[in-house]
Structure 1
Amino acid sequence: MALFSTLSDVDLDRQVVALSRQLDDLRKALAKRGDAYYEDGRGTSSDYYSQLADRLHEALPAIGRRGRALERTARDHPATAAAVGLVVVGLLAGLLISRR
């Protein structure tokens, strides 16, 4: 306690003001870094989205052809399509139940 008795109120006020200024400087520095990280993240996500859109655009005709072939197969073999559908539903139900 003797250490605190030697400090005057003016010294304490000066220290509080100095600490407040340092906190403000730290807040500003963090805000600048946060803005930079946000911009980097936004740019990166935009690049990933563009790449994904390009790949999907290139793959869309092949996906359409395979979808039509699958539809024809399901029409030609309805019992097989129903059995495969039931197996998929059963697998999904099993996965959902096992997570509990």
Structure 2
Amino acid sequence: MALFAADHDLDKRFAALARQFDDLREALAKRGDAYYEDGREAASDYYSQLAERLHETLPAIRRRGRTLERIARDHPATAAAVGLVAVGLLAGLLISRR
């Protein structure tokens, strides 16, 4: 009979621990949802700011690109030399890192 009482007591304790575990899991889920929502809102704000800035600077970037294209078309040898120098610098940086 004492063994049955001990088993019953263990069952009660186990049930209580299971309830506490469920409560903790729910609390963690709520916190996780809140953190996820905060992170999502922050990312959305950063994206909106970046899109705004990009939209404002895109015309200037396009103008400079057209200017560079015109210069490269007018002076192909100079453009090729600048390209080779840039490739050489990049290769030198990559090699020096090893």
Alignment CA distance shift 1:98-1:21 (3 Å): farther
Taking the aligned partners of 2:10 and 2:94, their CA distance within structure 1 comes to: 62
- In the other structure, the counterpart of 1:26 is 24
| 1:56 equivalent in alignment to 2:54 | yes
Query: Aligned Cα RMSD in Å?
Result: 2.0
2:67 to 66, 69, 74: 69
Deviation at 1:69, TM superposition (A): 0.9
Equivalent pairs: percent with the same residue?
79
Shift of 1:94: 3.8
**1:41 equivalent in structure 2:** 39
Question: Distance in 1 between the 2:44 and 2:27 partners?
Answer: 26
Segment of structure 1 superposing worse, 79-88 or 21-30: 79-88
**How many residues end up aligned between the 2 structures?**
95
Distance 1:97 1:15, change over 3 A: farther
Unmatched 5+ stretches in structure 1 = none
What's the TM-score, normalizing by structure 2? 0.83
**Cα distance change of structure 1 residues 10 and 94 upon mapping to structure 2, 3 Å threshold:** farther
CA deviation after TM superposition for structure 1 residue 97, in Å = 4.4
Please, which runs of 5 or more residues in structure 2 have no aligned partner? Answer: none
The secondary structure found in structure 2 opposite 1:8 is helix
Report the CA distance between 1:76 and its aligned residue: 1.7
